[in-house]
């Protein structure tokens, strides 16, 4: 397989013909190569394994359990997470640092998984006539590009499959994510408490803080919280209380996180 980005021309062709699962996975793999070349990843086996095991547990109970799901932790303090086509999920360190229990991490992971289950990137690409989505967006997303050169490389190599999702997509990802988490035996309350926490931080920081990227990429958080609350109210308390909120690995993961050196300096901060 040639290690070159898909060109805009190829994208238009793909958009015209529809994207098969195999093509989706290939695009995701190419994007993932770029991501690992350009963004710093947390290199700690305990943290990586924790997030990967949690992700596999949730993804394996979805309709796309057959994908080769991969979960990685980006070494960035910014609160964000993103999904590439084909099942490549990235959770920023800033998410883990703010989580109070396993179910809060699961809420974010379950949400990103649902973007892949519903093929949101693929649909967006099919609808976007191949242009002007996602080029160079990785830097904006994580704020973790370390040099102008890296940013230029991402711009040049931008495969345009990586785009912002609509409010409708976000609501679908919440609702599907909610169910994904529950199917894995995990309490969906963590999704609510975590989004609530992010909203509080966003409001107290006046919009320019570490959560800014999350709110730019996940529009409508306030409405979405109401939607999640509605879903929570429909699950019997006895069922909710029987679901898992935490595990012993979470505290171990947090202890490792606390021992990591500072995240790489972010441009413009």
Q: Which residues contribute to the site for Zn ion (CB under 5 A)?
A: 170, 173, 218
Q: Which is nearer to Zn ion, 91 or 173 (CB)?
A: 173
Min separation Cβ 111 and Zn ion, Å = 6
Min separation Cβ 77 and Zn ion, Å = 20
Residues 92 and 80 sit within 8 Å (Cβ to Cβ): yes
Distance linking the first and last C-alpha atoms of the chain = 38
Q: Which is nearer to Zn ion, 209 or 220 (CB)?
A: 220
Which stretches of 101-211 are assigned E, i.e. beta strand?
none
Q: Which is nearer to Zn ion, 104 or 170 (CB)?
A: 170
Distance, CA of 31 to CA of 38 (rounded, Å) = 10
Which stretches of the chain are assigned E, i.e. beta strand?
70-74, 81-84, 88-92
Q: Which residue is nearest to Zn ion (CB)?
A: 173
Tokens matching residue 214: 């999350």
Min separation Cβ 107 and Zn ion, Å = 11
Q: Which is nearer to Zn ion, 35 or 173 (CB)?
A: 173
Q: Which is nearer to Zn ion, 76 or 157 (CB)?
A: 76
For 121, half-sphere exposure in the C-beta direction (CA atoms, 13 angstrom radius) is 29
Min separation Cβ 165 and Zn ion, Å = 5
Q: Which is nearer to Zn ion, 51 or 83 (CB)?
A: 83
Residue 4's Cα: distance from chain center in Å?
Answer: 24
Tokens matching residue 157: 């190599």
Residues 177 and 114 sit within 8 Å (Cβ to Cβ): yes
Min separation Cβ 170 and Zn ion, Å = 5
Min separation Cβ 164 and Zn ion, Å = 9
Which stretches of 37-159 are assigned E, i.e. beta strand?
70-74, 81-84, 88-92
Sequence length of the chain is 269
């Amino acid at each position: 397989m040639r290690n070159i980005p898909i060109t805009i021309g190829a994208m238009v062709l793909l958009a015209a013909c529809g994207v098969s699962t195999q093509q989706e996975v290939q695009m995701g793999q190419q994007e993932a190569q770029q991501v690992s070349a350009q963004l710093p990843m947390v290199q700690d086996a305990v943290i990586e394994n924790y997030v990967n095991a949690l992700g596999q547990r949730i993804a394996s109970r979805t309709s796309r359990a057959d994908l080769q799901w991969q979960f990685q932790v980006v070494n960035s303090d910014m609160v964000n997470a993103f999904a590439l086509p084909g099942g490549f999920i990235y959770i920023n360190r800033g998410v883990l640092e703010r989580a109070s229990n396993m179910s809060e991490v699961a809420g974010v992971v379950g949400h990103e998984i649902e973007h892949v289950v519903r093929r949101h990137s693929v649909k967006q690409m099919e609808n976007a006539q191949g242009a002007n989505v996602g080029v160079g967006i990785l830097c904006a997303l994580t704020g973790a590009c370390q040099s102008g050169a890296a940013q230029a490389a991402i711009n040049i190599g931008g495969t345009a499959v990586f785009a912002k999702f609509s409010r409708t997509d976000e609501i679908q990802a919440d609702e599907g994510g909610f169910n994904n988490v529950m199917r894995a035996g995990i309490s969906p309350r963590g999704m609510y408490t975590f989004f609530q926490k992010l909203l509080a931080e966003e409001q107290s920081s006046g919009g320019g803080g570490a959560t800014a990227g999350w709110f730019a990429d996940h529009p409508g958080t306030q409405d979405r919280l109401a939607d999640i609350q509605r879903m929570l109210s429909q699950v019997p308390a006895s069922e909710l209380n029987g679901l898992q909120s935490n595990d012993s690995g979470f505290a171990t993961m947090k202890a490792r996180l606390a021992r990591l050196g500072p995240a790489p300096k972010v441009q413009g901060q």
